[in-house]
Amino acid sequence: MVQPKKRVTILDIAKAVGVTDGTVSRALSNDPRVRPETRERVTEAARALGYRPNLAARYFKQGQTRTLGVILESGYWFFYNPYFGRLVAGLADAARENDRRLTFFFPEIEPAADHNPAHDVVRPRGLDEVFDGRVDGAVMFAGRKLSPETLRELAEAPVPVVLANTNLPVPGFFQLVSGAGQRAKAAALALLDQGHRKIGMVALYTDTPYEWACLKGLQEAHDARSLDFLASQIVALDHWDNLNPEAITAALDKLLAQGVTGIIFSDAGQAVLGQELLKARGVRVPHDLSLLAFGPLPPVARLQQPAVTLFNADLIGAGRELYAMMKEAGEQKEPRSFEIQWSLSEGGTLAPPKRA
C-alpha cells in the first residue's frame, strides 16, 4: 500500500536552510525585516521541498477560518436536485470571489416507515462547528419546519447563520425565501385567466411548509377571481422520490377523477414524466389538459414536444444573494428576507380548456 506523503512544514525548511522557523515564517510572508538573500534561500528551499502553506493555521491566527458551513437537513439527494444545485453554485461562486470555501454537513436521518420525508427523524450536523469556531458562518438549507429549539440555538450562534429555502418566513433571521406560495398563486392565475375553472396541483410531500405555502397560494389565486377552491385539488406525494412513476400516476388518478382541466407540477421533471404518462392514456396536452411546472427543466427534456410551460427563476443569482446576506449578517445589520422571483416562460402546454 502506498504510504501518504509526509507534509512539509516550516521546520523542515528551517532545517534545510539553517535558520529559525520564525525566520522562515517571516520570509514566506514577505516581512521586510528578512534580508533579500535569506528570503531567496528560504523560498527556493520551500519550492524544492514541495511546501504548501497551512492556510487553516494562518487564518486561525487571524481569528477566522475563511470557511462557511452549509448545513443540509434534506440528505444526500440535495446534490442531484437541479433547484438546489443552482442555489449552491451561486453561493459557492460568490464565496470563491471573497476567498471563502464551503464545507457541507449532512444530517443523520431515520427514514419514516411511510416513506414520507416530512415524517423522518432528522438530526442536523454542523451545529457544533457553528458554535466552536470551525466556520465563520453558516447557511442552513431547510425544507421542513424547524423546531423552536433549533431556531433558538441558531439565533444564539456566535457566528452569522442564514436560512435558505424557507417556504414560510421565519422571524428574526436573514433568509432566502423559496417563493413557493407566490409561484403557485401565479401559476394558478395563469390557468384561471385562460378560462380553466378546475385546477389541480401535484405537490411534494404532505405535512410540510412547502405544501402549506402552495395551498395558501392556490387559495389566494381563486379568491382573487372570486372562485371556489377545494383543498383536495392539491395532491402531495407520500414518497421520498418525487419522480416515482407509481406516485405520479396515483396523483394524476386523483386529480383527473376530480375533472381538472389544468395541472401544476412542483418540479419540471415531474411535468415531463406526467406528460408521458398522460400520452400513454391518450390524453392530449394541451388540447385535453394544460400543464404548468416550476423550473429548471432537465436538459434532456428540452426536446420533448410540446415543451413544458414553466415558471423559471434566476437561482444562481439567488445563491449569490445568500452570500450577500451572510456578509450583512456578519456586519450585524438588520435581518432581511429575499424571496426568489419566478416568471412565466414560453412553452406549449398552456392553452384554454377544451369546450364540450
The CATH fold assigned to 10-53 is 434 Repressor (Amino-terminal Domain) (1.10.260)
What is the location of CATH 3.40.50.2300 in the chain?
A: 67-179+315-343, 180-311
* Third-level CATH fold of 180-311: Rossmann fold (3.40.50)
* Amino acid type, 144: R
Tens digit of pLDDT at every position of the chain (356 positions): 334 456 788 888 889 989 988 888 888 878 888 888 998 998 898 888 888 765 445 544 555 678 999 998 777 777 778 899 999 999 999 999 999 999 999 888 788 787 777 777 777 777 787 877 788 999 999 877 788 888 888 888 888 999 999 998 889 999 999 999 999 999 999 999 999 999 999 998 888 889 999 999 999 999 999 999 998 999 988 766 788 899 999 999 999 999 999 999 999 999 999 999 999 999 999 999 999 999 898 877 777 889 999 999 999 999 999 999 999 999 999 999 999 999 999 899 999 998 64
In the chain, CATH 1.10.260.40 sits at: 10-53
The span from the CA of 65 to the CA of 35, in Å, is 31
- Record the cell numbers describing residue 40, joined without a space: 531567496
Report how far residue 109's alpha carbon sits from residue 103's, in angstroms, rounded to the nearest whole number. 19
Q: How far apart are CA 271 and CA 264, in angstroms?
A: 8
pTM, 2 dp: 0.80
User: Which top CATH class is 67-179+315-343?
Assistant: alpha beta
